[in-house]
């Protein structure tokens, strides 16, 4: 007789480990593809998965077969017009007969191998080996932040927290425990009697039966001591929230292209922070000769022109920190993008302010200089910033889209201790 087994509930993802092995092996390919995707994508769908193409020759598994040349005969079906002795021009490529039948394997050799990354995998590769510099978990300290967490069951509680299944289980256990002996005795007596006889003749036994029955009936189905409630306790949690300041120069010299570069950098930073922290706030500060806090739409798209005073933005950032994001409760990150055209005393003043006031409070401050394509001239702001010596500060120049991701990786690459 055949045995029929339902295995549908077994593990489905048996191949996950093999898939992971595959990814591990072709990580270099995948990472290159990810970098490529990042530079091509619009920011809105940065976070999606993607398709990776791997050339077939790179993933083929070598085997020994007969090569070309030599003599061979192959049999094919569905002859139409050939007769013995007919001569056929050798097909180009010299594969020797149509397909030559020796099993050259996988017909898709020309197409290469296409591999779809899930969103999660994309992000993992994307952020692989990146690390937040100076990530200090802010101490719990006197912070009130705590969260409810499940902690089993309790006999007391509010009716809304009643765990029905658990309570019934408890009741069942109690009933079994309290009536077990009586039921056993009852079964014993009844099995002795003739099953056909309606009543038990022996009055003593009849009396015992009815007393046992009464005893069993007296045990309640559900008792108050059975009730169980879901228990929750408050657990203090280490702080895991961050605020990201986006500072951008929107003066006349920052055109759409430069803004787009800056925006891409902010997007990467945001995605990155979001993975590392549970909660990420973003503050947009744009400045010309005067700084203001705006929403995202205005930040990127509202045209506004004017001069350039970098200091104003830094100053506003400090105010916002003091006002809303005390540095002992928030992990503060900042990314400043500018083309670096600052004038007069502004660069020096900004530098000093940054070093003295802002850097001590921030985890990391990145300055991205979006230059014109092909230019490598050092701007006034960058020459001032260059003299900042702090592990919390970094600056890089970016000229085109393709630069963004490498620069980002460079800034946040895992430091080998």
Partner 1 sequence: MAERKPISTGADWDFELIARYDEAIREIAVGEFGLDCYPNQIEVISSEQMLDAYASVGLPISYPHWSFGKAFIRDEKAYREGARGLAYEIVINSDPCIAYLMEENPIALQALVIAHACYGHNSFFKGNYLFRQWTNADAIIDYMVFARKYIMKCEERHGIAAVEEALDACHSLMDFGVSRYRHPPKLSAEAERVRQREREEYAWSRHDEIWRTLPPPPAPAGPDQATDTGLSGEPQENLLYFIEKYSPRLEPWQREIVRIVRKMAQYFYPQGLTKVMNEGWATFWHYTILNRLYDKGLVTDGLMLEVLASHTNVVSQRGFDERGYGGFNPYALGFSMFRDLRRICEEPTDEDREWFPDIAGSDWQSTLDFAMRNYKDESFINQYLSPRLIREFRLFAVADHEDREFLEVDAIHNEQGYRRVRKLLSEQYNRDNLLPDIQIIGFDRDGDRSLRVQHRRHRGRGLSGDSTRVMRNLQKLWGFTVWLETVEEDGSLVDTTEFPA
Query: Does residue 28 interact with partner 1 by CB under 8 A?
Result: no
Cβ neighbours, 10 Å, residue 34? 23
Query: Does residue 93 interact with partner 1 by CB under 8 A?
Result: no
For residues 2 and 376, which CB has a smaller minimum distance to partner 1 in the complex?
A: 2
Contact with partner 1 (CB under 8 A): which of 53, 76, 237, 301? Answer: 76
Query: Does residue 144 interact with partner 1 by CB under 8 A?
Result: no
Query: Does residue 98 interact with partner 1 by CB under 8 A?
Result: yes
For residues 89 and 387, which CB has a smaller minimum distance to partner 1 in the complex?
A: 89
Residues 6+ positions from 176 with CB-CB distance below 8 Å: none
Q: Interaction with partner 1 in 281-320: which residues (CB under 8 A)?
A: none
Contact predicate 265/355, CB 8 Å: no
Stretch near partner 1 under the rule CB under 8 A, chosen from 107-115, 147-155, 199-207, 397-405: 107-115
Least distance (Å) between residue 54 CB and partner 1: 9
Contact with partner 1 (CB under 8 A): which of 48, 82, 118, 375? Answer: 82
Cβ neighbours, 10 Å, residue 398? 21
Query: Does residue 406 interact with partner 1 by CB under 8 A?
Result: no
Contact predicate 332/361, CB 8 Å: yes
Contact with partner 1 (CB under 8 A): which of 28, 42, 44, 63? Answer: 63
Least distance (Å) between residue 108 CB and partner 1: 8
Distance CA 57, CA 66 (A): 18
Structure tokens at 161: 């927290």
Element at 170 (helix H, strand E): helix 164-192
Contact with partner 1 (CB under 8 A): which of 59, 130, 182, 205? Answer: 59
Least distance (Å) between residue 58 CB and partner 1: 11
Structure tokens at 136: 């200090």
Query: Does residue 25 interact with partner 1 by CB under 8 A?
Result: yes
47-78: buried (b, 16+ CB within 10 Å) or exposed (e) per residue? eeebebebeeeeeeeeeeeeeeeeeeeeeeee
Stretch near partner 1 under the rule CB under 8 A, chosen from 109-117, 186-194, 246-254, 304-312: 109-117
The angle subtended at Cα 182 by Cα 179 and Cα 186, nearest 5°, is 130
Distance CA 166, CA 170 (A): 6
Query: Does residue 17 interact with partner 1 by CB under 8 A?
Result: yes
Contact with partner 1 (CB under 8 A): which of 42, 62, 195, 297? Answer: 62
Query: Does residue 96 interact with partner 1 by CB under 8 A?
Result: yes
Q: What is the DSSP string of 7-23?
A: -TTS-S-TTHHHHHHHH
Contact with partner 1 (CB under 8 A): which of 73, 110, 188, 224? Answer: 73
Residues 6+ positions from 136 with CB-CB distance below 8 Å: 331, 363
Distance from chain centroid for Cα 179:
54
Least distance (Å) between residue 408 CB and partner 1: 28
Contact with partner 1 (CB under 8 A): which of 28, 71, 165, 217? Answer: 71
Query: Does residue 77 interact with partner 1 by CB under 8 A?
Result: yes
Note the residues at the interface with partner 1 (CB under 8 A). 1-8, 10, 12-15, 17-25, 59-80, 82-90, 96-103, 107, 113-116
């Amino acid at each position: 007789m055949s045995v029929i087994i339902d295995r549908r509930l077994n593990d489905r993802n048996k191949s996950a480990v093999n898939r992971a092995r595959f990814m591990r092996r072709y990580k270099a390919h995948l990472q290159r593809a990810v970098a490529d995707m990042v530079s091509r994508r619009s920011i809105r769908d940065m976070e999606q998965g993607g398709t990776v193409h791997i050339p077939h020759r790179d993933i083929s598994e070598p085997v020994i077969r007969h090569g070309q040349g030599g003599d061979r005969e192959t049999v094919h079906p569905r002859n139409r017009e050939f007769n013995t002795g007919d001569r056929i021009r050798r097909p180009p490529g010299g594969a020797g007969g149509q397909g030559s039948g020796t099993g050259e394997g996988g017909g898709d050799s020309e197409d290469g191998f296409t591999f779809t990354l899930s969103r999660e995998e994309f992000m993992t590769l994307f952020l692989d080996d990146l690390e937040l510099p100076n990530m200090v978990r802010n101490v719990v300290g006197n912070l009130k932040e705590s969260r409810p967490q499940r902690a089993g069951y309790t006999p007391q509680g509010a009716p809304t927290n009643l765990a029905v299944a658990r309570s019934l289980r408890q009741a069942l256990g109690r009933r079994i425990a309290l009536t077990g002996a009586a039921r056993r005795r009852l079964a014993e007596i009844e099995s002795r009697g003739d099953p056909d006889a309606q009543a038990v003749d022996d009055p003593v036994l009849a009396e015992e039966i009815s007393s046992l029955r009464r005893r069993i009936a007296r045990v309640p189905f559900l008792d108050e001591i059975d009730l169980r409630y879901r228990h929750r306790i408050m657990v203090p949690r280490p702080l895991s929230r961050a605020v990201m300041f986006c500072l951008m120069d929107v003066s006349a010299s920052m055109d759409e292209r430069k803004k787009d570069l800056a925006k891409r950098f902010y997007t990467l930073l945001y995605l990155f922070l979001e993975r590392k922290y549970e909660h990420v706030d973003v503050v947009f500060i744009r400045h010309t000769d005067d700084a203001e806090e705006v929403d995202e739409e205005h930040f990127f798209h509202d045209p506004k022109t004017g001069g350039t005073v970098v200091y104003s933005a830094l100053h506003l950032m400090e105010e916002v920190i003091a006002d809303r994001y005390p540095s002992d409760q928030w992990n503060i990150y900042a990314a400043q993008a500018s083309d670096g055209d600052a004038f007069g005393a502004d660069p020096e003043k900004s530098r000093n302010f940054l070093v003295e006031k802002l850097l001590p409070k921030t985890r990391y401050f990145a300055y991205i200089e979006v230059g014109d394509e092909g230019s490598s001239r050092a701007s006034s702001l960058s020459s001032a910033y260059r003299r900042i010596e702090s592990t919390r500060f970094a600056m890089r120049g970016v000229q085109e889209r393709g630069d963004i991701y490498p620069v980002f990786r460079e800034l946040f690459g895992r430091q080998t201790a």
